[in-house]
């Protein structure tokens, strides 16, 4: 049995394990086939670099956790559908957890249907400029009211990433956000709308094309849109992703690095990539009650300011934290202290009433 045959057998016996292959020989076709079949998740050549190997193992654990959350969601979908007596659908979903090809096909169809049936929507959370105290933008956050009730975006975007339907999903978000921005920015030109993309969206050109056509369709200036990319190990700073980021920056949309300070933060992103905004993660806000935590926040904001980057601090809930962040010189705050994400109606009512202060 060759190494790849062995790993294919392991994949059949233990489908939930992650398999890294370390080899001195590179047989591209055999390895590519094994990767296509899901027998091998990562391939590395000998001699290996300890740091890279450790990072791959760490990433595998992270991915495994995400996979487990996905499976749990699928189970919930399955049992939810069962209780609704849609036996055939329930059967389909039970099947899903086991057969990833079938899973991908069905989930893609389910999300596709959700898009067309209007079961997806965006809520918008205000971002408040700390100098003026005025709303400077909103972040669009995806909601899926599935047939078994709401499913959180963290979970279902992971499903979409796995099933390959993230491109379609992001395409829908881009169209929706550009449409809203074209309506809202005419009443309040200082308002910019942010949208979230997956690192996987940067691997192809459809995000760029989609943005270009949505901006043209809605006659919207690119500066009214900001694209948020979560920093993660899936972001390959040397590859095609960098070209896409540069093309987006050239197009004129704002680029924000999301969740900075959580997980695999890399200072290299600040140095190398064309981001204009750093979104500081809520996990750093939660450290503000300690002297060291305050120092980290202060120095991070100072560093970003020196680099002429905007800082948006996320997840601020208390006045005490807001005061500290203001004192450190952050540009913008987004958090429950001002408002939770609002449905479109809520934002429109606020705009119609003159848009003073923060919508609630």
196 or 332: whose CB is closer to ligand C2E?
196
Q: Is 258 in the site for Ca ion (CB under 5 A)?
A: yes
Q: Tell which positions 184-213 bind Ca ion, by CB under 5 A.
A: 196
Least Cβ distance, residue 171 to Ca ion (angstroms): 18
Q: By the 8 A CB rule, do 329 and 305 touch?
A: yes
DSSP line for 293-313: HHHHHHHHHHHHHHTT-EEEE
8 versus 280: smaller Cβ distance to ligand C2E: 280
71 binds ligand C2E (CB under 6 A): no
How far apart CA 10 and CA 2 sit, in angstroms, is: 12
Q: To which residue do tokens 């921005």 refer?
A: 181
- Contact between 257 and ligand C2E per CB under 6 A: no
The nearest distance, CB 77 to ligand C2E, in angstroms, is: 18
Helices 100-116, 166-187: inter-axial angle, 10-degree rounding: 20
Q: Which residues are bridge partners to 197 per DSSP?
A: 229
Task: State the DSSP H helix or E strand holding residue 36, giving kind and residue range, or none if neither.
Answer: helix 28-36
Q: Cα–Cα distance between 3 and 74 in angstroms, integer?
A: 32
Backbone angles phi, psi at 224, to 5 degrees: -80, -5
- Strand 254-260 and strand 20-23: the pairing is unpaired
In the region spanning residues 15 to 34, those forming contacts with ligand C2E, defined by CB under 6 A, are: none
Asked whether position 341 contacts ligand C2E by CB under 6 A, the answer is yes
- Determine if 182 is a binding residue for Ca ion (CB under 5 A): no
Angle of the 206-217 helix axis to the 240-251 helix axis, nearest 10: 10
| Of the candidate residues 39, 74, 120, 197, the single one contacting ligand C2E (CB under 6 A) | 197
Q: Which of 259, 278, 330, 359 binds Ca ion (CB under 5 A)?
A: 259
| Residue 276 near residue 309 (C-beta atoms within 8 A) | yes
One of 196, 226, 277, 312 touching ligand C2E (CB under 6 A): 196
> If binding means CB under 6 A, how many residues of this protein chain bind ligand C2E?
23
Residues 323 and 321: their CA atoms lie apart, in Å, by 5
Stretch that binds ligand C2E, among 24-32, 73-81, 96-104, 311-319 (CB under 6 A): 311-319
Query: To the nearest whole angstrom, how small is the minimum distance from the Cβ of residue 174 to ligand C2E?
Result: 9
Per CB under 6 A, the list member of 157, 167, 311, 312 interacting with ligand C2E is 157
Chain residues in the site for ligand C2E (CB under 6 A): 125, 141-142, 152-154, 157, 173, 196-198, 228, 230, 258-259, 314-317, 334-336, 341
């Amino acid at each position: 049995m060759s190494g790849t045959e062995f790993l294919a057998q392991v994949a059949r016996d233990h489908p939930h394990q992650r398999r890294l292959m370390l080899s001195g020989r590179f047989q591209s076709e055999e390895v590519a086939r094994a990767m296509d079949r899901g027998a091998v998740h990562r391939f590395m050549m000998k001699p290996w670099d300890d740091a890279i190997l450790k990072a791959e193992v760490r990433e595998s654990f992270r991915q495994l956790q995400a996979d487990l959350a996905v499976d749990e969601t699928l189970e919930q979908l399955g049992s939810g559908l069962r209780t609704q007596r849609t036996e055939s659908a329930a059967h389909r979903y039970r099947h899903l957890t086991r057969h990833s090809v079938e899973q991908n096909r069905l989930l893609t169809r389910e999300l596709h249907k959700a898009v067309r049936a209007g079961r997806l929507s965006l809520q918008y959370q205000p971002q408040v400029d700390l100098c003026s105290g005025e709303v400077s933008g909103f972040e669009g956050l995806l909601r899926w009211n599935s047939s078994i009730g709401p499913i959180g975006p963290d979970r279902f975007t992971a499903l979409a990433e796995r099933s390959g339907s993230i491109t379609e999903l992001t395409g829908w978000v881009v169209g929706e956000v550009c449409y809203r921005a074209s309506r809202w920015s005419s009443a309040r030109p200082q308002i910019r709308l942010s949208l979230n993309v997956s690192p996987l969206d940067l691997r192809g050109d459809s995000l760029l094309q989609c943005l270009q056509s949505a901006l043209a369709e809605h006659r919207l200036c690119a500066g009214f849109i900001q694209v948020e990319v979560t920093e993660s190990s899936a972001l390959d700073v040397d590859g095609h992703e960098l070209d896409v980021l540069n093309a987006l920056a050239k197009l004129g949309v704002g680029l924000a690095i999301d969740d900075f300070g959580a997980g695999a933060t890399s200072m290299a992103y600040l140095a190398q990539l064309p981001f204009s905004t750093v979104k500081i993660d809520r996990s750093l806000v939660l450290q503000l009650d300690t002297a060291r935590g305050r120092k980290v926040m202060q120095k991070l904001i100072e560093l970003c300011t020196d680099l002429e980057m905007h800082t948006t601090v996320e997840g601020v809930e208390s006045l005490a934290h807001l005061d500290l962040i203001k004192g450190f010189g952050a540009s913008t705050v987004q958090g429950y202290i001002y408002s939770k994400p609002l449905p479109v109606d809520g934002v429109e009512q606020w705009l119609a009433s003159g848009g003073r202060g923060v919508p609630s």
